[in-house]
Amino acid sequence: MRFVKPSRPNVYTGGTLDRAGHLREDAAWVERAMAGEAARYVVFWQGKTLIEGGARGAPRARLVRRPAVETAAVFLGLLDGVPVFAVDFSRLENPYEVIEAGEAAFADMRGVSGALPVDDATILATARAMLHWRGRTAYCSVCGGRTAPRKAGYVMACMACDTEHFPRTDPAVIMLVARGDFLLLGQSHKFPRERNFYSTLAGFVEPGESLEDAVRREVFEEVGVRVGEVVYHSSQPWPFPASLMLGFYAQALTEEIVLDESEMRAAGWFTRAQILDRARLGFDLPPPDSIARRLIDDWMGDEGGGDS
Ligand SMILES: [Zn+2]
C-alpha cells in the first residue's frame, strides 16, 4: 500500500490558539479574564454559532464581548494573548438580547467551516465539543449527584462524591479501502438520500481494540471485505458531536461486497475515472470540510476529487 501524504491540514486543525492549560488551574485569573475588557466569547445557541460575512463569501466566526448575563463559560485559551471563552445560550429564547452580535447571525458552522480562517474553524470546533460534553455531564456517572464546573470548565466535579469528570472525545476510524485502481465507497443510511453521496467507511473504536483492528472489523462488518495492510493518513477533531476521526488507507484482500443493510444503503468499487465523472454519473463525494473527502482527494492526487 503506497503512503499518501496529507496534502494540507484538515479543517478544524492547526491554528494559533494557545490552550494555556496551566491557566485553567488559576481560578482567580480565570475570573479576572472573564470580566476583562479584552475577553472574547464564542456563543453557541441551539447548536448554531455566530457567523458574519457569509454573504460576502468570506465567513468569519463572530467573537463577542462579555455577554450581559451571568453564565458558566469554558476557557478555550489565548488567541494572540486575548482570552477566549465559550458559552451556550440554548436556554435563552432570544440570545441576541444579551450579546453584541453586530451583523452576525446564528448559523450551522458546517455550512461555512471549510471557508473559515483556520483559527476560527479550530476555535469553533473546540467550543462545540466542550459545550456538548459539558451539557451531557450535568450529573455524576458514579453516584448520580449534580456536577459543577472546575478548572475553567475543563472539569465537571460531582458535588456529592467529588469524582472529577474530564472532557472526552470518542475515537472513530475512517478508512479509504483500495484494491488496485479501485476504491471502495459506501452510502450510509445516515447520509441524506437526495445528495446521493458516496464516502469512505467509518466506525467507532471499541474498548480493547487497536485502531488497525477497528479498521479491519468495521470494513468487514459493513461490506464483508477483508482488509490487510492499514496505513495512517491524518486525524481530525469532529465535534458533531464528540468524535476524533483517525484517517487510514486500507488494502483490500477480497472484492466481494456483502452489505450490512442495517447500516449501509449501498457500496461499490469505483475507478478514478468514475469518481472524476461523478456529476454526469449522478453521485457526489462527501463535503469538503470532512476528512473523508480529504482521504479521497489525496488518493486521487493531482487529478483531484475536484472542488464540488
Ligand atoms: Zn458523584
Please tell me the distance between residue 161's alpha carbon and the centre of ligand 1 in angstroms: 4
Task: State the Cα angle at 62 between 58 and 63, rounded to 5°.
Answer: 145
CA of 139 to the centre of ligand 1 (A): 8
d(CA 295, CA 308): 15
pLDDT confidence of residue 302: 58
Q: How far is CA 35 from CA 54, 70, 92, 215, 236, in A?
A: 30, 10, 21, 47, 33
Distances (CA, A) of 45 to 40, 54, 89, 93: 16, 18, 5, 10
Q: For the whole model, what pTM was predicted?
A: 0.92
How far away, in angstroms, is 140 Cα from ligand 1 center? 5
Residue 48: is it exposed, middle or buried by C-beta count within 10 angstroms (0-12/13-18/19+)? middle
Mean pLDDT (the chain, rounded): 94
Q: Give the sign of the dihedral formed by CA 126, CA 128, CA 129, CA 130.
A: positive
User: pLDDT tens for residues 137-187?
Assistant: 999 999 999 999 999 999 999 999 999 999 999 999 999 999 999 999 999
CA 135 to ligand 1 center in whole angstroms: 16
State the distance from the centre of ligand 1 to the C-alpha of 24, rounded, in angstroms: 22
Task: State the distance from the centre of ligand 1 to the C-alpha of 57, rounded, in angstroms.
Answer: 48
Kindly give the distance from the C-alpha atom of residue 302 to the centroid of ligand 1, in angstroms, as a whole number: 54
Per-residue pLDDT band for 304 (boundaries 50, 70, 90) equals low
Q: How far is the CA of 134 from the centre of ligand 1 (A)?
A: 15
Distance 137 CA to ligand 1 centre (A): 11
